[in-house]
């Protein structure tokens, strides 16, 4: 069935129950009002800080969007892009696109003007829905974007080159449009992270979206009484499909604007959140503030919080050990996935498997996994190879890119580009990205293993290990290290700490700097390789 049927079901069963809450604590700070004070303001005066909609209103808004799109000429199979920050309008617009029979195309809100134009042309987008922070970027290429496309603006003071979303939907029917959608219809195009250049467009059917929603609910045992805290950007498959566990059972979700430790714990406390998905940096920030005493758990009501889960990158076991020291009653899960597999969950640890922290887990609901060598032959258990996954969430293709599709999907198997191994108990461990493996003097070195080791050092907040050009070894191992606030650290201290590692794994160069991460928390290693690798290569050539 199409994923839109969950929304319609919830509107029938729970029409007056809250579906979505938007919290904007930064707005309260800007107005010099504390969030706790803001929470006491009656709803009519509370809008800048907290907004909410019920399931019936959610569904009606989605229907209005669908009918507006149809009136503006959008047909089944057309593509409608969204470029907006998380807000209460985001998901009704997304579901309105799906209900119209069109394909939803979320854009990364970090795209610059050139990337917006590139992705609009790559995905053959027919309409772009955008909000005020993106006026300047859209305007730069407005003339090109308007060729065969509609630009719809969400917000006040609509720019001249666009049409007003609020005016267009105001007179549209709140009844569902007469458009038949099946699970075999195309539903969404997502984009690869673009860490190796401009992104690729990833096409999914409704079957993929429904699979992701049902899988999330089963993996985390989401019930109608749960409250999900959503912080990451909704344009990404991770945030949206973790939220869809709430969609399946009709439970409340909170869209939080802000990632400060105090902001997160305040949201959990005031909204009585039970499930929270964090990225590694946010969990580290919470733990660091708890360690320093700047944050006190006794200031918040957190007893109802039952599950903390992390995805989007390898999770250091040391982080989870620290987390359990403060939150001993929390269930924990980690999820592995990629946009080509409709986001997280094709491999997941499982709530009952915390004893296997460090593993990405076992095949997810309705998924299969295998590890293969360079020739595509399954390796022996315990050997490292490329992780491949197969299931109903595998993308249809890279849109308009048959060559890349054939390289990635073979006989129904999605080749992930991640190096992994399977232990005797059947659990998969992520070793590293295939392209991130360092070959130094003929030896394969996996940066994730070194990063996990370095993060055990109490002065290190974050780190990234990359390969830098070396005339003798081909590549040498370099560690970029971000030190915790209030600490000082020398290269000698790090080198001494690394003496407990095998010699060939020890970083040959230590660089103290901030670690760049994208909006979903992944370390931007291509940025680091470009930043430091080119410099080292020039230095070596000059010496030669």
CA distances from 191 to 130, 233, 387, 516 (A): 17, 14, 21, 20
Sole residue written with tokens 């660089």: 511
Using alpha carbons, select from 466, 426, 460 the residue that is nearest to residue 446. 466
Phi-psi region at 375: left, alpha or beta (left = phi > 0; alpha = psi -120 to 50): alpha
Strands annotated E in 141-210: 150-154, 163-164, 186-191, 201-205
d(CA 302, CA 268): 7
pLDDT value of residue 311:
73
Q: How many CB atoms lie within 10 A of CB 80?
A: 27
pLDDT in tens, 27-67: 555 444 444 454 444 443 334 589 999 999 999 999 999 99
Q: Mind listing the domains of the chain with CATH numbers?
A: 437-543 (3.30.300.30)
Which residues of the chain have a pLDDT value below 70? 26-48, 193-197, 312-314, 432-434, 441-443, 471-473, 519-521, 534-544
Is the pTM of the predicted complex or chain greater than 0.85? no
pLDDT value of residue 443:
66
pLDDT value of residue 253:
98
b (16+ CB within 10 A) / e for 133-155? ebbebbbebbeebeeebbbbbbb
pLDDT value of residue 522:
74
């Amino acid at each position: 069935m199409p994923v839109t049927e969950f929304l319609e079901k919830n509107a029938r069963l729970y029409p007056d129950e809250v579906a979505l809450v938007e919290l904007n604590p930064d707005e309260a700070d800007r107005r010099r009002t504390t969030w706790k004070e803001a929470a006491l303001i009656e709803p009519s005066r509370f809008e800048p800080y907290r907004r909410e909609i019920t399931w019936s209103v959610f569904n009606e808004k989605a229907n209005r969007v669908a009918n507006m799109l149809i009136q503006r000429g959008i047909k089944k199979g057309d593509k409608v892009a969204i470029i907006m920050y998380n807000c209460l309008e985001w998901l009704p617009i997304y579901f309105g696109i799906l209900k119209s029979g069109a394909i939803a195309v979320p854009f990364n809100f970090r795209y610059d003007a050139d990337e917006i134009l590139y992705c609009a042309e790559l995905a053959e987008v027919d309409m772009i829905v955008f909000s005020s922070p993106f006026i300047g970027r859209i305007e730069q290429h407005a003339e090109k974007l308007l060729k065969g496309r509609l630009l719809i603006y969400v917000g006040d003071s609509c720019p001249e080159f666009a049409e007003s979303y609020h005016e267009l939907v105001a007179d549209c029917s709140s009844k569902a449009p007469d458009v038949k959608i099946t699970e075999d219809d195309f539903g969404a195009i997502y984009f690869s992270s673009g860490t190796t250049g401009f992104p690729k467009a990833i096409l999914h059917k409704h079957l993929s979206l429904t699979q992701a929603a049902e899988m999330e609910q089963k993996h985390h045992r989401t019930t109608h009484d749960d409250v999900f805290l959503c912080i990451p950007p909704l344009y990404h498959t991770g945030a949206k499909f973790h939220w869809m566990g709430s969609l399946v059972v009709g439970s409340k979700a909170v869209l939080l604007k802000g990632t400060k430790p105090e902001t997160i714990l305040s949201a959990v406390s005031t909204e009585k959140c039970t499930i929270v998905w964090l990225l590694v940096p946010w969990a580290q920030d919470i733990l660091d503030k708890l360690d320093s005493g700047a944050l006190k758990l006794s200031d918040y009501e957190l007893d109802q919080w039952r599950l903390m889960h992390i995805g989007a990158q390898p999770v250091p076991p040391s982080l989870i050990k620290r987390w359990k020291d403060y939150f001993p009653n929390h269930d924990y899960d980690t999820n592995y996935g990629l946009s080509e597999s409709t986001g997280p969950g094709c491999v997941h640890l499982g709530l009952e498997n915390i004893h296997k922290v460090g593993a990405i887990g076992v095949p997810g609901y309705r998924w299969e996994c295998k590890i293969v060598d360079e020739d595509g032959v399954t390796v022996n258990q315990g050997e490292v190879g490329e992780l491949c996954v197969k299931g109903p969430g595998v993308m249809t293709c890279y849109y308009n890119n048959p060559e890349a599709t054939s390289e990635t999907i073979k006989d129904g198997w999605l080749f992930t580009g991640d190096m992994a191994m399977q232990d005797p108990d059947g659990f998969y461990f992520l070793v590293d990205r295939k392209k991130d493996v360092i070959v130094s003097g003929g030896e394969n070195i996996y940066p994730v293993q070194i990063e996990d080791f370095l993060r055990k050092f109490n002065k290190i907040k974050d780190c990234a290990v990359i390969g830098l050009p070396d005339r003798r070894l081909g590549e040498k191992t370099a560690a970029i290290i971000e030190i915790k606030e209030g600490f000082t650290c020398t290269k000698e201290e790090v080198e001494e700490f690394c003496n407990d590692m095998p010699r060939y794994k020890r970083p040959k160069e230590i660089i103290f700097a901030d670690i760049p991460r994208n909006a979903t928390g992944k370390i931007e290693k291509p940025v680091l390789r470009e930043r430091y690798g080119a410099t080292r290569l020039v230095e070596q050539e000059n010496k030669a």
